[in-house]
């Protein structure tokens, strides 16, 4: 792990160079604007949502706080099926409420495979969130599009894209016959070819631990009688990255209830050229976004040798990383990951010479040990936790740097 001592180009907050470094960090993003939105929102068209989640009210609740919202009701949930007529009703509302340049409403849905939790020998793809610039007449339901690859072909053919929602694994301490048995359960989130990463371009990412109330619920299984469940969110994302999938990071509310307002504490931040449905989806397709799990706005500008989040490029030179964080909440730790490993760690004590109020930080660092293809991303730990103890955190999408051999 690299310590603070090897940083190059760090400047103090009152230094004349501070504004220069901030300008350097923002320059690769000069053609884009920052837009915040929620890409995973349910209404009463979902069987498992509160009946008070009327679609127009849900959309109105996000206006004035967010720049965009995606309506993503379940295609099939147990015995309930989203009909073609209901889908067209949703699309009509989205089209009516959408206003380019002011507030973008994106029609989408949640492809929902049957619940196969912990059933040996069965595939558990769980869900995929899908959204469209120009929505099709009907959706691609699980019953007719039963695997992620079949689904991806249909969605991309209709000009849509998507992301993997709530990927998480479970470690269960099973108390059985007065013995504690530790079991680890994973799902088949990534059971598709790498080529389909261009369709499923992002995944929801959160700090490990409970994020929702239902994360405390018991896991139901014939062979589990009593248990304690540990939720691992970051493990699943890092597993996919290590498998070679190109994934950007988003955060969403997944709201089913009026008590959880879209984007209130979890949102996706997108670098787009303009506030239109097409521009937002174009940015998401190339992973030009990051995940913000915090009630305040955190502006993050991370680039490597002029390439911004989501980019992949080739070079013979050592990568030069530059980061600027402008936060409305106090910054406690900054981690830079290289190939899923914590490569650089900066805690609040390290930040004190370089930030007058712990709310803006700028620095650069060169990777002098760049020996092979690598990817880098940033995790920022902020002051405070949500009501379930989950720390407020930001994750940038990775930048992939390939070593060119001359």
pLDDT, tens digit, 9 for 90 and up, residues 186-205: 788 999 999 999 999 999 99
pLDDT of 349 strictly over 80? no
**Other Cβ atoms within 10 Å of 200 Cβ, number:** 26
> What is the reported pLDDT for 226?
39
> What is the reported pLDDT for 121?
65
pLDDT: is 323 or 117 the higher one? 323
pLDDT, tens digit, 9 for 90 and up, residues 57-82: 999 999 999 999 999 999 987 778 89
Question: Which of the residue ranges 177-191, 283-297, 387-401 has the most confident prediction, judged by mean pLDDT?
Answer: 283-297
> What is the reported pLDDT for 42?
95
Q: Yes or no: say if 254 and 40 are a contact pair by the CB < 8 Å rule.
A: yes
pLDDT-derived band at 181, boundaries 50, 70, 90: low
> What is the reported pLDDT for 360?
86
Please, how many CA atoms are within 13 Å of residue 196, restricted to the half-sphere of its CB?
21
Structural domains of the chain, with CATH: 1-30+296-406 (2.60.40.10), 33-166+188-208+232-287 (3.20.20.140)
> What is the reported pLDDT for 77?
78
Helix (H) or strand (E) holding 123: none
Question: Which of the residue ranges 44-48, 123-127, 254-258, 279-283 has the most confident prediction, judged by mean pLDDT?
Answer: 279-283
DSSP characters over 240-308 = HHHTT---EEE----B-STTS-TTSSEEEEEEESSSSHHHHHHHHHTT-EEEEESSS-EEEEEEETTEE
Q: Yes or no: say if 376 and 369 are a contact pair by the CB < 8 Å rule.
A: no
pLDDT of 6 strictly over 50? no
Q: Report the chain's mean pLDDT, rounded to a whole number.
A: 86
């Amino acid at each position: 792990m690299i310590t603070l001592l090897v940083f190059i180009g760090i400047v103090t907050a009152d230094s004349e160079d501070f504004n220069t470094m901030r300008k350097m960090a923002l320059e690769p993003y000069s053609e884009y604007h920052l837009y915040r939105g929620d890409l995973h929102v349910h209404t009463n068209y979902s069987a498992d949502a509160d009946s008070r989640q009327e679609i127009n009210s849900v959309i109105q609740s996000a206006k004035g706080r967010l720049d965009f919202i995606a309506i993503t009701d379940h295609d099939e949930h147990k015995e309930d099926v989203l009909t073609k007529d209901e889908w067209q009703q949703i699309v009509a509302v989205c089209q009516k409420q959408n206003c380019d340049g002011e507030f973008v409403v994106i029609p989408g849905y949640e492809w929902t495979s049957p619940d196969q939790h912990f059933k040996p020998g069965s595939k558990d793809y769980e869900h995929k969130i899908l959204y469209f610039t120009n929505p099709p007449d009907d959706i691609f339901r699980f019953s007719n599009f039963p695997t992620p690859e079949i689904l991806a072909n249909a969605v991309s053919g209709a000009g849509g894209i998507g992301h993997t929602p709530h990927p998480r694994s479970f470690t269960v301490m099973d108390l059985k016959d007065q013995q504690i048995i530790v079991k680890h359960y994973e799902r088949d989130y990534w059971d598709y070819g790498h080529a389909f990463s261009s369709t499923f371009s992002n995944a929801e990412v959160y700090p490990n631990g409970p994020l929702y109330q239902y994360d405390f619920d018991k896991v139901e299984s014939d062979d589990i009688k009593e248990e304690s469940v540990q939720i691992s969110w970051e493990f699943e994302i890092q597993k996919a990255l290590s498998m070679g999938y190109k994934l950007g990071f988003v955060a969403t509310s997944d709201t089913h209830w009026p008590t959880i307002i879209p984007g209130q504490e979890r949102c996706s931040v997108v670098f787009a050229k303009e506030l239109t449905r097409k521009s937002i989806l174009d940015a998401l397709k190339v992973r030009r976004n990051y995940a913000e799990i915090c009630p305040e706005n955190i502006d993050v500008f991370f680039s490597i040798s002029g390439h911004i989040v989501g980019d992949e490029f080739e070079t013979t030179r050592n990568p030069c990383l530059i980061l600027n964080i402008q936060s409305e909440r106090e910054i406690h730790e900054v981690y830079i990951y290289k190939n899923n490993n914590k490569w650089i760690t900066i805690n609040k004590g390290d930040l004190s010479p370089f930030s007058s109020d712990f709310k803006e930080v700028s620095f650069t660092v060169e990777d002098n040990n760049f020996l092979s293809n690598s990817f880098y991303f940033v995790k920022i730990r902020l002051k405070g936790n949500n009501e379930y103890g989950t720390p407020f955190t930001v994750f940038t999408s990775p930048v992939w740097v390939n070593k060119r051999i001359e």
